[in-house]
Amino acid sequence: MDITAFTSFDQTFTHQPSRKNRVCISFYQRFQRFAIDDTDGTLVCTGLDPPCHFPSRQINLNLVSHQLSPRHLFRLIDSRLHDRTLSRRIAEKIAAEAVQYVGFLQPYVMSVYVVKTQQVVSLREEEEEEETQKEEEEPTCAICLEGLYKNDETFDLPYCSHRFHSTCIGEWLQSHDSCPLCREILLEENVETDFGLESFLSY
Please report, to the nearest 10 degrees, the dihedral formed by the alpha carbons of residues 60, 62, 68, 72 taken in order: -70
pLDDT tens, residue by residue, 69-86: 999 999 999 999 999 999
Write down which residue in 122, 150, 182 finishes a domain.
Answer: 122
pLDDT of the residue at 195: 43
Parallel, antiparallel, or unpaired: how do β-strands 108-122 and 21-36 relate?
Answer: parallel
Write down which residue in 122, 151, 172 finishes a domain.
Answer: 122
Shared domain for 69 and 117, answered yes or no, is: yes
**Is there a contact between 89 and 70 (Cβ–Cβ < 8 Å)?**
no
User: Is the confidence at residue 178, as pLDDT, over 60?
Assistant: yes
Q: How many domains does the chain have?
A: 2
- Work out the pLDDT band at 124, boundaries 50, 70, 90: low
Percentage with pLDDT > 70 across the chain: 79
Shared domain for 47 and 85, answered yes or no, is: yes
pLDDT of the residue at 147: 82
Which residue, 94, 128, 116, is CA-closest to 7?
Answer: 94
The CA R_g of the chain, rounded to the nearest whole Å, is 31
Shared domain for 156 and 118, answered yes or no, is: no
User: Is the confidence at residue 65, as pLDDT, over 60?
Assistant: yes
Q: How many CB atoms lie within 10 A of CB 48?
A: 12
pLDDT of the residue at 61: 92
Is the C-alpha dihedral spanning 26, 108, 84, 50 positive or negative?
A: positive
Shared domain for 27 and 94, answered yes or no, is: yes
Domain with 99 in it = 2-122
Shared domain for 18 and 45, answered yes or no, is: yes
CATH number at residue 157: 3.30.40.10
Shared domain for 41 and 11, answered yes or no, is: yes
